[in-house]
Structure 1
């Protein structure tokens, strides 16, 4: 399976390394408007450099295009790739608007190509174990959940490129960092029906928010609390996700949420619980999430099925971020009704 990468910035390196570690996968092409940004991929992987997207998409040897550009540019590139009959892997978020997300999804469907969105945190061993327990009904009736991201992104991070922290191309802590946590909330707890949020730009010189808080009501009646910030001094402090149910409690945490900080399940004895905790401890990182996403895309193509994190899954996470944004902007509750966000006064 031959891959091409569009956008040779920081995140592209994870894609290239993942492709290198997959048997039968080859990075054959890269495209970036800055020629020297492609040099590393040409030298290390033998990828052919392209300055022009159309020329690259005309390369019949390319099977899958990995889009690693600034978020606001995802839609036109993904749509052009789909029209060229290339399968598409797009970095999170799938897009910055629901309209763009739907255009990507529809274009991939119309051209009969697969679409995957990079939400790699789902593949962390601790998250996989938690998902298994929840799917087995071990938590009973769900009470509430809590997602916390307390990280540091200093001004130098945003100053690396003029698009960082902009509303048109990037977004703030919710769109860029905490969208992974929101994706996990939805994946584990189910769809959200109501949001109330407040956000601020407190410490960084950017257009978008650097701190956000909010509460949600899930469609199953459970509640949720979200806190996300890139203002933590002096470095990343924690990423955690807590689930509380009638017959179970789980807290996963650490700097990047890779371990069980607490696990109590009524239907499991102490030895069984400890075995789950120790299993995660032995391999807390697991296989890199980007590699899991790319391997799943290859399997989805061979098996002619949807990728695990498909376009609709990516759109769900985006829609929740946008609901947070609308609530904070209008200072109102927001109802999520299929493809619409409805603001409610009071």
Structure 2
């Protein structure tokens, strides 16, 4: 199979980004869009050779795409994923994989039962910055990783919430919507999380979610990580602002992750390694070595992985199981905030 034909289920903000990424990806054709809300297609260029449908089950009666991208609201993911997996259609499911980990593991189980691959849209793992950072850590270039500091601060304006009132409702705060990307990336670097303690502050704007939270993670390998997240702090310190990953965000030259090791430290996304000249010693000069990288749109790289999964039986970079595990950490954070307790995580 030299080319693959994909369908997109859900053409909101994220679905439209996939449409644009497909245009930039060799060997992939977008043949169909399934979208029940006509307002989501306002302004969409229908002159392209793409068929529009409004019902998934009716579409699948006569169509069998090589793969499906699910970018509908999270609450719909379970039902839609199970329908597609029953038809043995490989899936790229936008993050988070499901509304909760119980539903997520149902998707994992169905994928295994039908021997049909699922890739989760945690696109940051596909960024070359993340891949290089992972190699630096795995190669031991900064020694044994001991601890990580991660900052996820930005200010979402009022019109962001007013344009979609669900963003004000329970479950749509920055932990669930934004921090899951950072959690997934730290798990990519460090492995499974063992325990969580977190503290959250209710929204100052009167919404149903937190707008500030601080989290302490302990990984299975005894690495610790401290994370701070807010959608109500004016700041340049977030992956969105510093990675230059998406042009909608005005880029700044700064870092939001500090990864500390026994022989050196790594800051990301600027890919700077910090080391003393000879042996580690705080009384001696410390030097910075900044690495370069080739930029590839992570969404395009993610689609290339999806194509390889479909055509070459390659492994998804972010499997359904990995998506479920990251979601379990998010659930543990919320549970810790509500109970004011440390929460242990039993990974499956």
* Alignment TM-score, normalising by the size of structure 2: 0.86
Partner of 1:231: 232
Distance in 1 (alpha carbons) for counterparts of 2:183 and 2:167 = 21
Partner of 1:255: none
1:246 counterpart (262, 270, 274):
262
Q: Deviations over 1:108-149 (max 9, x none)?
A: 222222100011112223222211111112222222111110
Partner of 1:264: 275
Distance in 1 (alpha carbons) for counterparts of 2:36 and 2:202 = 31
Instruction: Label 1:237 to 1:279 Cα distance change in 2 as closer, same or farther (>3 A).
Output: closer
Distance in 1 (alpha carbons) for counterparts of 2:277 and 2:60 = 54
Q: Retained in 2: the 8 A contact 1:4–1:62?
A: yes
1:46 counterpart (45, 49, 57):
49
Q: Deviations over 1:285-338 (max 9, x none)?
A: x21111111110111122223311110111121111111010001111100112
How is 1:60-209 mapped onto 2 (pairs within 5 angstroms)? 60-167=63-170, 171-209=172-210
Q: CA deviation at 1:215?
A: 0.7
Q: CA deviation at 1:100?
A: 0.7
1:323 counterpart (332, 336, 348):
332
For structure 1, the residue ranges without an aligned partner over 5 or more in a row are 253-257, 340-346
Instruction: Label 1:313 to 1:265 Cα distance change in 2 as closer, same or farther (>3 A).
Output: farther
Instruction: Label 1:304 to 1:157 Cα distance change in 2 as closer, same or farther (>3 A).
Output: same
User: Are 2:30 and 1:19 equivalent residues in the alignment?
Assistant: no
Distance in 2 (alpha carbons) for counterparts of 1:264 and 1:316 = 33
Compare 135-144 and 1-10 and name the one that shifted more. Answer: 135-144
SS in 1 for 2:204: coil
Distance in 1 (alpha carbons) for counterparts of 2:267 and 2:335 = 29
Q: CA deviation at 1:10?
A: 0.6
Distance in 1 (alpha carbons) for counterparts of 2:88 and 2:50 = 20
Partner of 2:252: none
Distance in 1 (alpha carbons) for counterparts of 2:329 and 2:147 = 17
Partner of 1:222: 223
Q: CA deviation at 1:222?
A: 1.9
Instruction: Label 1:32 to 1:335 Cα distance change in 2 as closer, same or farther (>3 A).
Output: same
Over aligned residue pairs, what C-alpha RMSD do you find? 2.3
SS in 2 for 1:337: coil
Q: Retained in 2: the 8 A contact 1:2–1:61?
A: no
Q: CA deviation at 1:209?
A: 2.0
Partner of 1:297: 306
Q: Retained in 1: the 8 A contact 2:8–2:32?
A: yes
Instruction: Label 1:3 to 1:59 Cα distance change in 2 as closer, same or farther (>3 A).
Output: farther
* Alignment TM-score, normalising by the size of structure 1: 0.86
Q: Retained in 2: the 8 A contact 1:30–1:49?
A: yes
SS in 2 for 1:279: coil
Q: Retained in 1: the 8 A contact 2:9–2:68?
A: yes
Q: CA deviation at 1:267?
A: 9.2
Q: Retained in 2: the 8 A contact 1:199–1:328?
A: yes
SS in 2 for 1:164: helix
For structure 2, the residue ranges without an aligned partner over 5 or more in a row are 240-255, 280-284
